[in-house]
Structure 1
Amino acid sequence: MGGAKHSVPPPAPPVDAAVLARGEYVAKAADCAGCHTAPGGGAPFAGGLAMGSPFGTIKTSNITPDPRYGIGRYTLQEFDRAVRHGVARGGKALYPAMPYPEFSKMSDDDLRALYAYLMQRVAPVAKPNEPADVAFPFNQRWTLFGWQWVFMPRGGFKSRAPADPQWTRGAYLVQSLGHCGACHTPRGWGFQERGYDETASRFLTGGINDHWFAANLTGDAGSGLGRMGEADIARFLKTGHAGGSVAYGSMVQQIEDSTQYLTDADLLAIAHYLRSLPPQQASGAYAPATQPGRAPSNGNRVPDAQSVGYVVYRSFCAKCHGDDGKGVPNVIPALAGNASVLAKDTTSLIRLMVEGGNSPATLTGPPRQRMPGFAGLISNAQMADALTYVRGAWGNVAQPVSGNDVASLREILHK
């Protein structure tokens, strides 16, 4: 038979159990399986997840220790070069859909532990990698070296509060393993994140990822975390529920695959760091005491009884979210004062109304709940009217949504 031969490398020397346990924890904190597992029952870590980008669709790679299709032949140095520098074995540059700009801040000990875990505790899967569907000139990998030279952060992780170990740990988890900025920081003209730590004014101020708007994580009291305490943030990351908010969209998988497994100390460290971030990119407001009804600033002074948005809300939404917009604790999210409702970008709100969604299913949180989609029940204009009503009711102060906004996103989503 004329096929190429692939010898199996000798087994790696045994690694201390504590190192392997640390590696498993790092893999969960970094959500390696979440990205490198195909949907619909794909083998863990064997790749195949399609990731959209402005340049085309990129398929995640096989990172099991299979010697032919996975990383079984990678040395620690080659693994380091791929994870922290974005260069695969053989010198091929990786697309920044992999968050190696964040992983460049990973510590040496965490990198070694992750390598040991993947090599010795993950089952090898002989699954070929699928090519990226990226148009010219972005399919020319050599151009990515220029991207890395211009945009990659340098110098590794540096704490700006060495006297506060909890802040330092939280900053490390957010900026590195958790790669929160990959979704929650807006991108620039070169698809680069507009900041990789708290010194950048756009860091964690919200960004579009896979047609979801990842929320502002700074201290803005409207669409950010300014009204959430550290314990609430930690609880949200553990269960997907806190303070009337419920996780949705891409954050559901992040919580299910990653943050629910972090220690309470690490979750509180993340919360401590995030609450230290000053308000940036303010959007929306919540003033229930002074504006009990719809905000007059939204340009719609029609009484509720004559408002199309109110009628649609009462007909399709109030049964779950309540006439007062307060939802049901640990079951249905509150809409009154909800940071996602107040966000300037309405992508997530519209998408949830169009196709629905579900809350996370975690080990310690409430049972999963499902929100239905309304694409086949009401028109684009009615969806827009309902969202406009919600964004101006119960003390919410946010700009209206138009029927064109809904139609544009539905065209992108093919819904």
Structure 2
Amino acid sequence: MAPASGTNAAAQPESADAELARGAYLATAADCVACHTKPGGKPFAGGLKIATPMGDVVATNITPDPQHGIGSYTEADFENALRHGVRKDGSYLYPVMPYVSYAGMTDQDVKALYAWFMHVVKPVAESPEETNLSFPASLRSAMMAWNFVASKETPETGDSSTYDTLRRGRYLANALEHCGTCHTPRNFMLSEKQDHYLAGGSLGTWYAPNVTSSKTGGIGDWSEDDLVAYLRSGHVAGRAQAAGPMAEAVEHSTSHLTDADLHALAAFILKVAPMDDDADHTARDAAGKAAEMPDIRTKGPQRIDDLAEMDGPHIYDANCSSCHGHDGAGTKDHYVPSLFNNSTVGAGRPDNLIMTILKGVDRTAGTEHAFMPGFDGQSNVQRLSDAEIAALTNYITATFGTGDHQVTPELVKSLRKDTPVVNPLAKGK
């Protein structure tokens, strides 16, 4: 459903098939499946646990099952939940469901999305466990007060497929892809700081970086084609690779958008007002160079009886150099990325590098699959201790990035357990 050129005329009636096709595309653009499907679970049946400062919010079943899902919802009920965060029973949804963004959807698109969920999605007779947050968030009625202070998108009008490029890009970014949900920092009420739109925000263990047009803190040095390539594949050689939540967004959502929509989204994002960053003072993808140092293995076999004596270079050599190369240049075909000119390694915050080492990368976009094993002990590769990952992170950033971040084992431990703490030694913290 690529946006066509034309006027912003009122939405025209669609055939049933066209409406369902539109609904399918909208569900993909809105990335509904990412939050409402738990690992190994059935699509849209809920159960995924989403960490918040007040506890885990458990995603609900949004299949058309009448008892366990939303099968009994009328279109008005659906619209109230989607745009206003209020369930059919009158209780309030938690804003991890980005209804503040979906509020900007057009009436025509809400109608198409409802039709697709009700007539195409397969019902699943499963009820996820209930969300149980700490007080006062445990009182869903408290969300009524939050809704009064939270900024919501204003509903768009007309047929969204006929918008001009920048209007279409804004619609995709704000109403559907809800980019600000992750990339905009939040205030003490956990509402997005609209005056810092897309300036970067903490996701707990991961960090959604500044993607404003700042040439130092953001992605102002990227071309539109660079950003399109990243949204399509999750990879731009010499710039960035998607991991964690962004890899999921690429895999489930942006890699399925039309070329016209990808260019519209990229064109809009690259026009967002520049916002400098507290931690990144040079372009994240401009840091570092190939390592120029003797190979530590040329000294012959060495026995290290105490693993605590393993330093950063030895840990890198044993676990990383076979893929990324001793010099950090990666592979010639860029399947294994370079560690210099790499936005994760060159970032002023070490969070995403630590999380990538812990969790690895497993991203599929179209026919392209990117994989790196995680070293948290959950896969079949060697488990690295908190001290080893701290030493490895500091070695990588010092050798290929912006310097030694003085990451501590305590910080790694907190990220491994999904209970991040502030690292007072890290830049920008």
TM-score interval for Structure 1 and Structure 2 normalised by the shorter chain: 0.7 to 0.9
Q: Secondary structure at the match of 1:187?
A: coil
Deviation at 1:304, TM superposition (A): 10
Which residue is equivalent to 1:327?
A: 330
Which residue is equivalent to 1:211?
A: 205
Q: Secondary structure at the match of 1:125?
A: coil
Query: Could you report, residue by residue, the CA deviation over 1:293-318 in whole angstroms, capped at 9, with x for unpaired residues?
Result: 89xxxxxxx9998x943443334322
Distance 1:76 1:310, change over 3 A: same
Cα pair 1:215 1:340 within 8 Å, conserved: no
Distance in 2 of aligned mates of 1:148 and 1:235: 36
Distance in 1 of aligned mates of 2:37 and 2:244: 17
Runs of 4+ aligned residues of structure 1 deviating over 6 Å after TM superposition are 287-291, 302-305
Query: Could you report, residue by residue, the CA deviation over 1:255-309 in whole angstroms, capped at 9, with x for unpaired residues?
Result: 2211111101111111111211243233043699997589xxxxxxx9998x943
1:172 lines up with 2:178 in the alignment? no
Query: Could you report, residue by residue, the CA deviation over 1:163-211 in whole angstroms, capped at 9, with x for unpaired residues?
Result: x92222111111110011212222221222222xxxx2x2222222252
Which residue is equivalent to 1:11?
A: none
Which residue is equivalent to 1:239?
A: 233
TM-score, normalised to structure 1, is 0.82
1:226 lines up with 2:220 in the alignment? yes
Q: Secondary structure at the match of 1:368?
A: strand
Q: Secondary structure at the match of 2:56?
A: strand
Query: Which is further off, 235-244 or 263-272?
Result: 235-244
Counterpart residue type for residue 63 of structure 1: I
Distance in 2 of aligned mates of 1:388 and 1:269: 38
What runs of 5+ residues in structure 1 fail to find an aligned partner?
Answer: 1-13, 159-163, 295-301
Cα pair 2:345 2:397 within 8 Å, conserved: yes
Which residue is equivalent to 2:386?
A: 380
2:414 to 389, 408, 411: 408
Cα pair 1:288 1:396 within 8 Å, conserved: no
Distance in 2 of aligned mates of 1:205 and 1:129: 34
Distance 1:342 1:156, change over 3 A: farther
Query: Which is further off, 275-284 or 82-91?
Result: 275-284
Which residue is equivalent to 1:119?
A: 118
Distance in 2 of aligned mates of 1:78 and 1:334: 49
Counterpart residue type for residue 209 of structure 1: L
Which residue is equivalent to 1:347?
A: 351
Q: Secondary structure at the match of 1:339?
A: coil
Counterpart residue type for residue 207 of structure 1: G
Counterpart residue type for residue 363 of structure 2: P
Deviation at 1:91, TM superposition (A): 1.3
Distance in 2 of aligned mates of 1:258 and 1:289: 28
Deviation at 1:326, TM superposition (A): 2.7
Which residue is equivalent to 2:261?
A: 266
TM-score, normalised to structure 2, is 0.80
Q: Secondary structure at the match of 2:57?
A: strand
Cα pair 1:222 1:342 within 8 Å, conserved: no
Deviation at 1:19, TM superposition (A): 0.8
Distance 1:92 1:374, change over 3 A: closer
Distance 1:182 1:286, change over 3 A: closer
Q: Secondary structure at the match of 2:364?
A: coil
Counting matched residue pairs gives: 380
Query: Could you report, residue by residue, the CA deviation over 1:318-375 in whole angstroms, capped at 9, with x for unpaired residues?
Result: 222223333234411222122222323322211222x23123122232x332234166
Cα pair 1:58 1:133 within 8 Å, conserved: yes
Distance 1:184 1:287, change over 3 A: closer
Counterpart residue type for residue 390 of structure 2: A
Distance in 2 of aligned mates of 1:227 and 1:238: 19
Counterpart residue type for residue 264 of structure 1: D
Distance 1:227 1:277, change over 3 A: same
Which residue is equivalent to 2:160?
A: none
Distance 1:403 1:284, change over 3 A: farther
Equivalent residue runs for 1:130-209 within 5 Å: 130-153=129-152, 155-157=154-156, 165-195=164-194, 200=195, 202-209=196-203
Which residue is equivalent to 1:4?
A: none
Counterpart residue type for residue 410 of structure 1: R
1:100 lines up with 2:99 in the alignment? yes
1:359 lines up with 2:365 in the alignment? no
Distance 1:67 1:221, change over 3 A: same
Which residue is equivalent to 1:371?
A: 373
Which residue is equivalent to 1:76?
A: 75
Which residue is equivalent to 1:5?
A: none
Distance 1:394 1:63, change over 3 A: closer
